[in-house]
């Protein structure tokens, strides 16, 4: 027969498994954390700038500031290892001495490194930087700000230097152009793409070339997109027409 202490421990374990909250302070912390996490899952950062409700935006920013203050010892309280780990997974920056411009520059550098590593400006949705930033969400946010006139000239320049192409459709065109250019540089021409047994990337290049020929020669067709003068020069230089 179980002792009273063993029964109590078993009951505690069952309550924990059910998500039982032992104190109001624990409940409040968990509630705020989930709200912050929901924002992070959508936007990939902890700025809270996309929350339309000013009161809610201020509350969550204040909560994050409090977590930083507790962590650095600037105010009373304690963050256990589990809470620190969970906040780190959201990419929290503990020191406010790290200026927003520094953070922005780091993200630009991470985007540049991604393009160099993967050969594409299209970031995978599940890609997370070493600092816990969802890079695809961050890039999408910068495009939104650009369209709404909320990016400074300096930041626009930094993003373009990193490889940013503002319109996603143009970004896709640029990526396929670079892949086709690399293929032509490697093989000298595109004759090898006439084969029916092509891998996924070569099949994509073959289909892209077909579309560019059609766009170039028949821009009047409704299904086609007229190439810009710059795009025309690029495909002409590839020798694929």
Q: Is the pTM of this model over 0.95?
A: no
123 by DSSP, 3-state: which? coil
CA angle 100, 106, 107 (to 5 degrees): 90
pLDDT at 85 (0 to 100): 93
**Spans of the chain, pLDDT less than 70:** 1-9, 11-13, 15-22, 96-99
pLDDT at 10 (0 to 100): 72
- Beta carbons of 139 and 151 less than 8 angstroms apart: no
pLDDT at 96 (0 to 100): 61
CA atoms in the 13 A half-sphere facing the CB of 30: 10
Q: pLDDT (tens digit, 9 = 90+) per residue, 147-177?
A: 899 888 888 998 998 989 888 778 788 888 8
pLDDT at 97 (0 to 100): 54
User: Residue 87's closest CA among 23, 32, 48?
Assistant: 32
What backbone torsions phi and psi does residue 197 show, to the nearest 5 degrees?
-105, 75
Alpha carbons 125 and 117: distance in angstroms, whole number:
16
Q: pLDDT (tens digit, 9 = 90+) per residue, 43-70?
A: 888 888 788 888 888 889 889 888 888 8
pLDDT at 32 (0 to 100): 93
**Distance (Å) of CA 178 to CA 2, 66, 182, 238:** 70, 47, 6, 10
Other C-beta atoms within 10 Å of 59: how many?
15
pLDDT at 1 (0 to 100): 40
How does the average pLDDT of the chain come out, rounded?
84
């Amino acid at each position: 027969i179980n002792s009273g202490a063993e029964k109590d421990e078993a009951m505690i374990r069952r309550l924990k498994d059910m998500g039982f909250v032992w104190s109001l302070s624990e409940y409040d912390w968990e509630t705020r954390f989930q709200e912050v996490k929901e924002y992070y899952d959508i936007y990939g950062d902890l700025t809270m700038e996309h929350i339309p409700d000013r009161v809610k935006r201020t509350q969550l920013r204040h909560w994050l500031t409090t977590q930083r203050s507790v962590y650095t010892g600037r105010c009373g309280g304690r963050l256990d290892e589990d809470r620190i780990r969970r906040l780190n997974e959201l990419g929290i920056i503990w020191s406010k001495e790290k200026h927003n411009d520094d953070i922005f520059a780091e993200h630009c550098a991470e985007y540049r490194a991604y393009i160099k590593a993967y050969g594409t400006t299209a970031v995978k949705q599940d890609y997370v930087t070493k600092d816990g930033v969802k890079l695809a969400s961050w890039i999408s946010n910068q495009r939104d700000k650009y369209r709404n006139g909320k990016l400074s000239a300096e930041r626009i320049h930094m993003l373009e230097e990193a490889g940013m192409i503002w319109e996603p459709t143009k970004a896709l065109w640029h990526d396929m152009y670079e892949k086709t250019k690399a293929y032509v540089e490697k093989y000298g021409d595109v004759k090898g793409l006439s084969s029916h047994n092509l891998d996924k990337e070569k099949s994509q290049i073959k289909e892209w070339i077909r579309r560019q020929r059609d766009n170039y020669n028949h821009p009047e067709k409704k299904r086609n997109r007229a190439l810009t003068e710059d795009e025309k020069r690029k495909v002409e230089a590839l020798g694929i027409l």
